[in-house]
Every structure is written in structure tokens, then in C-alpha cells.
């Protein structure tokens, strides 16, 4: 008889090496081996997952990894069956206890971080990875492991709150962890500008140059800030050249790619484009769940998976998820109540989401506007046809109801022919994604909004 607990521990240990700690604690620590039977020459392993969401994610994304680990450990072919079942041996509070996200930082290391102005608490370990940020994450890790040699400069761009600053700080943190005497500096575009302006005003540009040009790593957050400022761009150009010529690494973040930053000097633009440019797209549902879990854990609260999903389904930005959790915790404290579905629901309706409403229209007006824009009857629009010319307008309708009117997913689903919230979520993700690459979709959205 094989001891299932020990076997599973062994499997998880081997998986821990292959995935990031965030992925491990979000998904794998939520599993256990519920049963193992022998059928002929094969084993059948029943993998217990703490929620349907954990089950679909592991089944869909990590099946191969898990399967390989099982076969290797058992040295026998093995089939995997996934079931949703709580681990009877584990109280929920222990579910996460296995992998501390943060190593104990010594005081000394905090000094190192402070000197480099690298904010603590933002590392690769607590950065969750999904398709929207995978490229940027991989590039950042490569740079952290080989500063000055991998991609230079590394230019990371994307919308508000997608994790650009977090990722850049992770690089700084990682470089300093590997070599605490490495000269790294993290500054915002604004601080950098102030430094230059001050240098020019007080005739201390030499001090400025000494400070910046000797760096092994210069991390500038929101570089778009220097655009349109001639003296600053001039100085930065020389700083950039001197620093990179001496083998130093430059990393920048921006809200736009270099080609779209207006009033950016041509010679800087071409320098920025000479390295690697990667973007981070808005997080999809799965990533928002992972982020919500990481943030909840960091704040010391135990958030059950159904609440994680409820929050992530209703809040689109990583930054607002964190804000929401803070509000949730303080409300729970104030009301001396548990963090419950009721409390989450009551706060969702009142969040920034609803204040962010851009359209002052009723749901029915939106339905009519979409129907008119695409010359589709309401019945067809809200009906069951999956044909693209009908399904796409329907997705656009769901997108507008959700994002422009701020309606809850379930309500959108109800309005659009009684669909389920996951269908709505999928539609919103799809259109969000398409809107970034397809001008036709952008024009449709704009046209409909204008007609309202
Ligand atoms: P940006 O600089 O792109 O505006 P930030 O890096 O400041 O965004 O991220 C906003 C918040 O969201 C931060 O608290 C950050 O830790 C969190 N966040 C964003 N993306 C992730 C991620 N992939 N994993 C964990 N936290 C994330
Ligand atoms: Mg930022």
C-alpha cells in the first residue's frame, strides 16, 4: 500500500520547483490525493481540488506537469481524475500555511533596498503570471538574472494598474538579492526630472552625472513624464548612453509604447526601441483571482475561493482589487462581522466601479442602440444564435452593459437572454482584448456610445 500523503508531498515538492511560488500557493496547495487505485498495470489517481475553479485551472493548465510528476514518482503509467473535494485532514486555515510568500528579510537587506529606493514587498514571488503578462514577466526575469546583457533597455508598457511598477521593482529586488552591493536605483520619471532640473538650477550637474552614470541598474518608472521637456531629455540621452556603454542596465515603464509617446525626442525613441519592448495587457479573470488571493493573504485574511471569484468577476483592475480588499477588511472590522458573501456583495455595488459610470443610459437604451447599430432585431440579438455576425454584437452589448453601466455580471446575463455570468465574463474579456487590436471594434463601441 502506498502512503498517499507522503506520495502527494513528494509530488508537490517536485512541482514547487517548476512553478512560481504564487502559482503554487494559489493552485497546488489547494489539492490533495483523495485516492489511488491500481487498475491492471496502471494507477488511477483521484486528485482532490478545493473548488471547481482550482479543478478547472489545474486540469486545463497544469495537467501535463502533474501527470509527469506522478508517473515519475510512481514509476508506473498513471491516469488522473480530478474531483472537487475538501481535504479532510486539513482545516481551511492551514490550506495556505505551507508556502510563506516572503522570506524573512533582515534589517540589513531593508537598508539595501532603501538605499536603492526599491520599495519592499514587490517581488517575483508575489507576482502572478498569466497570458497577459507572461512575456513581460519572462523578460524581467531574464534581465534580473543577467543585468546589462539580456535585453537593454527593457521597456515595459501598459495601462494603469496592470503591474508594471510591481514587475520593475521585482527586478530591482532580485538583482539586490543576488548581489546586495550592486548599484541599482529606482526612480519615477518625475523624480528623475526633478533631479535633473535641480542639477541644472544649482549648477550641480556633475553630481547628478556621477550619481546616475555609475549605476549598474537604472529603473525609471513612468518614463513618459520626461516627454516634452527638452533639457531633461537631453540630459537623459547622455545618461542613457554613458550608463549602457559601461554595461549598465536600463529598465523603463510607460503607459504607451515609445512610438506613441508624443513629444519624445526621436533619438531617445530609437534608443528605447533598440532593446526589448513588451506590454502587459489588462488581467483576465483567472489572473485577477490569483492577485486577489495573493493580496488577501498578504493582508492576513482567509478568503474562500467563492469570494475570491465573486470579487474578481466584478472588479477589472488589479489595483482596484487591492483597494476593494482594504475596504472589505475595514468594513468587516467596523461591523464586527465575518467577511461574507453578503458583505462583499454590498460593497461591490458601491465601489468605484459604479462611480466610474461613463454612460447615463438605461440598460434597455443600450440594447436598442446596439440593435440599431448592427441592424439586428432585438430578438435575434438576445437569442441563441452563435453565428459570428450576431454573437459578436451580443458580446459588445454585454461589454457595454458591464463596463459602461457598471451592472453586475449576473444582471447583464439576465438582461441578455438569461445567460450565465461566466458567458458574460468571457464576452467582456473577449471584447476588451479585441478593442486593443481591432479598430473596427473600437469604432463600433464609439459609435454606439455616441448614439447614447
Ligand atoms: P502599474 O504600475 O502598471 O500601474 P502596479 O505595478 O502599481 O501597476 O500594480 C497595481 C497593484 O496591482 C499593485 O498592488 C500590484 O502589486 C498589483 N498587481 C498587478 N499585477 C499583479 C500581478 N500579476 N500579481 C500580483 N499583483 C499584481
Ligand atoms: Mg506604476
By most ligand atoms within 8 Å of CB, the mutation choice from 122, 138, 161 for ligand 1 is 161
Ligand 1 atom closest to Cα of 159? 3
User: Would the pLDDT of 60 be above 90?
Assistant: no
Query: For a pLDDT cut of 70, what percent of the chain falls above it?
Result: 93
Is the preceding omega at residue 153 within 30 degrees of 0, hence cis? Answer: yes
Distance 160 CA to ligand 1 centre (A): 9
100 to each of 22, 26, 126, 289, 436, how far by Cα in Å? 10, 12, 10, 19, 37
Indicate if the alpha-carbon torsion angle 294, 137, 60, 99 is positive or negative: negative
Report the C-alpha dihedral over residues 97, 10, 88, 31, rounded to 10 degrees.
70
Lowest mean pLDDT among 69-78, 82-91, 143-152, 300-309: 82-91
Predicted confidence at residue 359, as pLDDT, reads: 66
pTM value is: 0.62
Beta strands in 163-315 (DSSP E): 184-188, 217-221, 249-254, 276-280
What's the residue count for the chain? 452
User: Would the pLDDT of 66 be above 50?
Assistant: yes
Q: Is 294 in the pocket of ligand 1 (CB under 6 A)?
A: yes
Is residue 306 within 8 Å of 330, Cβ to Cβ? no
Predicted confidence at residue 93, as pLDDT, reads: 41
Mean predicted confidence (pLDDT) in 28-35: 91
Q: Regarding predicted confidence, which is higher, 233 or 54?
A: 233
147 pLDDT band, cuts 50/70/90, is very high
Is residue 154 within 8 Å of 251, Cβ to Cβ? yes
Ligand 1 atom closest to Cα of 221? 2
User: Would the pLDDT of 276 be above 70?
Assistant: yes
Q: Is 252 in the pocket of ligand 1 (CB under 6 A)?
A: no
What digits encode the pLDDT tens for the residues 85-103?
A: 888 876 544 433 333 444 4
Is residue 271 within 8 Å of 285, Cβ to Cβ? no
Nearest residue (by CA) to ligand 1, atom 16, is 166
Q: Regarding predicted confidence, which is higher, 238 or 359?
A: 238
State the number of CA atoms in the 13 A half-sphere of 243 facing the CB: 30
Ligand 1 atom closest to Cα of 122? 16
State the number of CA atoms in the 13 A half-sphere of 123 facing the CB: 18
141 pLDDT band, cuts 50/70/90, is very high
Note residues around ion ligand 2 (Cβ under 5 angstroms): 165
What digits encode the pLDDT tens for the residues 101-134?
A: 444 445 788 889 999 999 988 999 999 999 899 9
Distance 253 CA to ligand 2 centre (A): 8
By most ligand atoms within 8 Å of CB, the mutation choice from 318, 323, 326 for ligand 1 is 318
What digits encode the pLDDT tens for the residues 182-226?
A: 999 999 998 899 888 888 888 888 888 988 999 999 999 999 999
Predicted confidence at residue 350, as pLDDT, reads: 58
Lowest mean pLDDT among 20-29, 87-96, 156-165, 171-180: 87-96
Distance 160 CA to ligand 2 centre (A): 7
Predicted confidence at residue 325, as pLDDT, reads: 92
Distance 283 CA to ligand 1 centre (A): 10
Report the C-alpha dihedral over residues 369, 373, 374, 380, rounded to 10 degrees.
20
Beta strands in 222-356 (DSSP E): 249-254, 276-280
153 pLDDT band, cuts 50/70/90, is very high
Phi, psi of 21 (to 5 degrees): -55, -35
Determine whether 108 is exposed, middle or buried from the number of CB atoms within 10 Å of its CB (0-12, 13-18, 19+).
exposed
Is residue 57 within 8 Å of 286, Cβ to Cβ? yes
Amino acid at each position: 500500500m502506498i502512503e498517499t500523503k507522503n506520495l502527494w508531498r513528494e509530488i508537490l515538492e517536485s512541482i514547487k520547483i517548476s512553478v512560481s511560488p504564487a502559482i503554487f500557493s494559489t493552485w497546488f496547495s489547494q489539492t490533495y490525493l483523495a485516492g489511488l487505485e491500481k487498475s491492471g498495470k496502471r494507477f488511477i489517481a483521484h486528485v482532490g481540488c478545493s473548488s471547481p475553479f482550482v479543478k478547472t485551472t489545474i486540469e486545463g493548465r497544469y495537467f501535463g506537469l502533474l501527470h509527469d510528476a506522478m508517473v515519475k514518482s510512481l514509476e508506473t503509467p498513471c491516469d488522473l481524475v480530478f474531483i472537487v473535494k475538501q481535504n479532510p485532514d486539513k482545516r481551511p486555515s492551514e490550506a495556505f500555511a505551507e508556502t510563506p510568500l516572503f522570506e524573512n528579510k533582515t534589517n540589513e537587506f531593508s537598508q539595501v533596498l532603501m538605499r536603492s529606493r526599491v520599495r519592499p514587498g514587490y517581488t517575483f514571488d508575489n507576482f502572478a503570471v498569466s497570458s497577459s503578462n507572461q512575456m513581460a514577466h519572462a523578460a524581467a526575469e531574464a534581465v534580473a538574472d543577467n543585468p546589462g546583457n539580456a535585453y537593454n533597455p527593457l521597456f515595459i508598457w501598459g495601462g494603469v494598474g496592470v503591474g508594471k511598477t510591481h514587475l520593475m521593482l521585482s527586478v530591482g529586488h532580485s538583482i539586490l538579492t543576488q548581489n546586495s552591493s550592486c548599484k541599482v536605483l529606482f526612480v519615477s520619471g518625475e523624480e528623475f526630472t526633478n533631479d535633473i532640473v535641480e542639477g541644472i538650477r544649482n549648477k550641480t550637474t556633475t553630481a547628478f552625472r556621477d550619481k546616475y552614470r555609475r549605476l549598474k541598474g537604472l529603473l525609471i518608472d513612468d518614463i513618459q513624464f520626461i516627454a516634452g521637456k527638452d533639457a531633461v531629455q537631453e540630459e537623459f540621452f547622455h545618461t542613457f548612453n554613458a550608463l549602457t556603454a559601461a554595461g549598465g542596465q536600463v529598465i523603463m515603464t510607460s503607459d504607451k509604447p515609445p512610438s506613441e509617446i508624443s513629444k519624445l525626442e526621436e533619438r531617445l525613441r530609437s534608443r528605447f526601441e533598440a532593446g526589448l519592448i513588451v506590454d502587459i495587457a489588462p488581467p483576465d479573470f483567472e489572473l485577477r483571482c490569483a492577485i486577489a488571493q495573493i493580496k488577501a493573504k498578504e493582508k492576513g485574511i482567509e478568503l474562500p475561493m467563492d469570494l475570491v471569484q465573486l470579487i474578481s468577476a466584478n472588479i477589472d483592475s488589479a489595483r482596484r482589487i487591492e483597494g476593494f480588499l482594504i475596504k472589505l477588511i475595514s468594513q468587516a472590522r467596523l461591523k464586527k462581522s465575518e467577511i461574507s458573501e453578503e458583505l462583499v456583495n454590498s460593497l461591490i455595488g458601491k465601489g468605484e466601479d459604479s462611480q466610474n459610470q461613463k454612460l447615463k443610459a438605461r440598460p434597455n437604451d443600450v440594447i436598442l442602440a446596439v440593435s440599431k447599430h448592427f441592424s439586428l432585431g432585438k430578438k435575434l440579438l438576445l437569442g441563441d444564435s452563435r453565428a459570428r455576425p450576431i454573437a459578436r454584437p451580443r458580446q459588445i452589448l454585454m461589454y457595454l452593459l458591464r463596463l459602461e453601466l457598471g451592472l453586475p455580471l449576473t444582471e447583464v446575463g439576465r438582461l441578455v437572454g438569461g445567460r450565465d455570468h461566466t458567458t458574460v465574463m468571457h464576452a467582456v474579456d473577449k471584447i476588451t482584448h479585441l478593442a486593443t487590436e481591432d479598430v473596427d471594434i473600437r469604432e463600433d463601441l464609439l459609435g454606439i456610445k455616441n448614439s447614447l
